[in-house]
């Protein structure tokens, strides 16, 4: 832990029985870039991810696998840890909802909610009977009016998931009494839901009136037992959302981590789970007398080569396969650069290769390679001493120095694509500067000027590499190594320093290789 201002960021916890795919990798990479940015900016970051392990869906998968639910979860949860490592995710904690600490936290929030009255003075939780539709795939209840007709004519959830009719005793959360409280909260916190379009959807949904929510199930037992009535298990979303509190030490509200990090600064979620995070979650928290997170940001969905990704369509994209083919940083860069954060986008191999060979290899890779090789061969591998700066040098350095402030603005949204665009504008400026200054000529005509030009370029690359770290951490580290920058000099505070002339640089090795399509098998 550092002394900086705290920043608590979470991914959703992934359904443990899923096979990790592009969509999961995307949510994790986006959070990771933001977490890394904040750490480099001196913030005291807690970055949480993990697996969602209870509920009917997981119980069914365990049964299909012929395993006891916990044994099943123990095996498959590892798949997400592996994905996390593969994508170079710098999470501080990996939570599993089957952990004892989490069961304790879930029961505690239940008791806190049940122990308080609703704004209308009624019990927040009451026993009743649920009779309605349930989609196991979404682990969500749906009203008749929300259902749509599938291609086969059967009723479906709006997500396309199959629904089943459920009738069973259930505890209800008095969500209807929280309508005004929620609307007042959205009003007072205009940035709570982002992007704006999602906020509008949520506000109109809540304005339309809220039904009480079934928060326990009795027809299966794979879940957190309801305190005082173990015939019921808690509705998996109430348990799952609570993971964000568990990681801070809740129910110990005196715990250092709770005091430091709650309320969370940002929950990053996919657009499909906005209602859970922006309606149910703040209502549960208000009912429990706890603070509501500062922000929920909903990102869009990827299609693959123009189609919805699915195993049955054969276009399921596993992160492992992507990383093996393109390299982890190229995949991270592509995901964050290709589409505005919050919008939907299409993942196509053509687009990935276009970014790799364009932005990465041709622009940034080439810049680094040209400059570092010239320092090697023209300056004996030592950073040259700059002389008096000309306007062109001042301009390039000024645009590099202006990057941090711009990146901060973009990352506050967060708008990863714009942050990257801004950084790459300076990559472009630097490449143009090389072409204009022609150091290969200066070498013969004016070695003092050559030193100034190469120093200016090296210093610009230092800025670029430091700022690129959150997005392409492995490659940025390689580049910083090639500039002989010690590990303690790589955070944003170090941007205020400058390279020391005379520093010996190692022999350059290429960063961001071009992607060459393997020849088709004969
Ligand atoms: N377990 C719940 C979350 C509970 S949080 C308290 C869940 N898990 S999930 O594994 O289904 O989804 C996790 C994340 O992956 C979601 O944010 C979801 O939007 C995202 N994606 C799943 N498929 C996706 C795409 N095709 N594209 C982009 N993201 C998508 O929901």
pLDDT at 520: 55
Residue whose CA lies nearest to ligand 1 atom number 25: 23
Token pair recorded at residue 187: 């009003």
Under 8 Å between Cβ of 293 and 6: no
| Pocket-forming residues, ligand 1, beta carbon under 6 Å | 12-15, 18, 23-24, 26-27, 52, 240-241, 243, 269-270, 272-273, 301-302, 309
Q: Which residue, chain included where needed, has tokens 């622009």? A: 363
Residue with tokens 């970055």: 47
Q: Whose CA is nearest to atom 7 of ligand 1?
A: 14
pLDDT < 70: residue spans in the chain: 1-2, 519-522
Establish how many alpha carbons lie within 13 A of residue 380's alpha carbon, considering only the half-sphere containing its beta carbon.
Answer: 6
Distance 468 CA to ligand 1 centre (A): 26
CB atoms within 10 A of CB 503: 13
Take atom 13 of ligand 1 and give the residue whose Cα is closest.
14
21 C-alpha to ligand 1 centroid (Å): 10
122-167: per-residue pLDDT in tens? 999 999 999 999 999 999 999 899 999 988 889 999 988 999 999 9
Residue nearest to atom 9 of ligand 1 (CA): 14
* 302 in Cβ contact with 270 (< 8 Å): no
CA angle 203–208–209, rounded 5-degree value: 105
Q: Does the global pTM surpass 0.95? A: yes
Enter the tokens of residue 83: 């994905």
Taking CA atoms only, the protein residue closest to ligand 1 atom 18 is 270
- For residue 39, give every residue at least 6 positions away whose Cβ sits within 8 Å of its Cβ, in sequence order, or none: 2, 45, 90, 491
Instruction: Quote the tokens at residue 84.
Output: 């996390």
Under a CB-based contact definition with an 8 Å cutoff, are residues 302 and 23 in contact? Answer: yes
The 8-class DSSP code of residue 341 comes to B
Which protein residue's CA is at the shortest distance from atom 24 of ligand 1? 23
Quote the pLDDT of residue 311. Answer: 74
Separation between Cα atoms, residue 52 and residue 49, nearest integer Å: 10
User: Residue 323 C-alpha to ligand 1 middle, in angstroms?
Assistant: 20
Cβ atoms within 10 Å of 519's Cβ, excluding its own: 6
- Measured in whole angstroms, the distance separating CA 243 from the mean position of its chain's CA atoms is 16
CA distances from 35 to 28, 39, 90, 272 (A): 10, 6, 8, 23
Q: Which residue from 270, 343, 348 has its CB within 8 A of the most atoms of ligand 1, so it is best to mutate?
A: 270
What spacing in Å lies between the alpha carbon of 31 and ligand 1's midpoint?
13
pLDDT of residue 1: 44
> What's the gap in Å between 83 CA and the centre of ligand 1?
14
Tokens 């004969």 identify what position?
522
Spatial distance between the Cα atoms of 115 and 436, rounded to a whole number of angstroms = 72
Place of tokens 């305190």: 227
CA distance 495 to 53: 43
pLDDT in tens, 378-388: 999 999 999 99
Q: Which two tokens stand for residue 168?
A: 């069973």
Answer yes or no: are the C-beta atoms of 365 and 510 closer than 8 Å: yes
């Amino acid at each position: 832990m550092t002394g900086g201002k705290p920043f608590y960021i979470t991914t959703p916890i992934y359904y443990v029985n899923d096979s990790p795919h592009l969509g999961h990798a995307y949510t994790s990479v986006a959070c990771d870039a933001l977490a890394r940015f904040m750490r480099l900016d001196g913030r005291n970051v807690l970055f949480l991810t993990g697996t969602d392990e209870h509920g009917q869906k997981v119980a069914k998968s365990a049964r299909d696998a012929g395993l006891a639910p916990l044994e099943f979860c123990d095996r498959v949860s590892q798949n997400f840890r592996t994905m996390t490592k593969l994508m170079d995710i710098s999470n501080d904690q990996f939570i599993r909802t089957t952990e004892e600490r989490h069961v304790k936290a879930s029961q505690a929030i239940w008791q806190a909610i049940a122990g308080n009255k609703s704004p209308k003075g009624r019990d927040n939780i009451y026993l009743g009977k649920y009779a309605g539709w349930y989609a196991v795939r979404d682990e969500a209840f749906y009203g008749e009016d929300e259902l749509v007709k599938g291609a086969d004519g059967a009723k479906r959830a709006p997500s396309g998931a199959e629904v089943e009719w459920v009738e069973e005793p259930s505890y209800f959360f008095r969500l209807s009494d929280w309508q005004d409280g929620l609307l007042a909260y959205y009003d007072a916190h205009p940035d709570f839901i982002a992007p704006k379009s999602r906020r509008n959807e949520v506000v109109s949904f809540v304005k339309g009136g809220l039904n009480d929510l079934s928060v326990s199930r009795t027809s299966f037992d794979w879940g957190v037992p309801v305190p005082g009535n173990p015939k019921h298990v808690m509705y998996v979303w109430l348990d799952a959302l609570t993971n964000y509190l568990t990681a801070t030490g809740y129910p110990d509200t005196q715990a250092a981590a709770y005091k430091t990090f709650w309320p969370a600064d940002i929950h990053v979620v996919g657009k499909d789970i906005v209602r859970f995070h922006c309606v149910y979650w703040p209502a549960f928290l208000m009912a429990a007398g706890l603070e509501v997170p500062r922000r929920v940001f909903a990102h869009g969905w990827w299609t693959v080569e123009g189609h919805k990704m699915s195993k049955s369509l054969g276009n399921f994209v596993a992160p492992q396969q992507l990383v093996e083919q393109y390299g982890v940083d190229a995949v991270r860069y592509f995901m964050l650069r290709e589409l505005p954060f919050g919008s939907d986008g299409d993942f196509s191999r053509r687009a990935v290769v276009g970014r790799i060979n364009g932005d990465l290899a041709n622009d940034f890779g080439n810049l680094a390679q040209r400059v570092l090789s010239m320092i090697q061969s023209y300056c004996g591998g030592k950073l040259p001493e700059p002389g008096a700066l000309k306007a062109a040098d001042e301009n390039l350095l000024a645009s590099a120095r202006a990057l941090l402030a711009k990146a901060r603005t973009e990352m506050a949204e967060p708008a990863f694509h714009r942050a990257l665009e801004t950084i790459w504008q300076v990559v472009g400026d630097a490449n143009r500067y090389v072409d204009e200054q022609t150091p290969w000529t200066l070498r013969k005509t004016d070695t003092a000027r050559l030193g100034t030009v190469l120093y200016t370029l090296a210093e610009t690359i230092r800025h670029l590499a430091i700022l690129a770290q959150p997005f392409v951490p492995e490659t940025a580290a390689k580049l910083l190594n090639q500039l002989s920058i010690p590990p303690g000099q790589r955070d944003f505070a170090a941007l205020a320093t400058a390279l020391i002339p005379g520093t010996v640089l190692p022999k350059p090795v290429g960063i961001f290789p071009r992607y060459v399509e393997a020849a088709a098998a004969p």
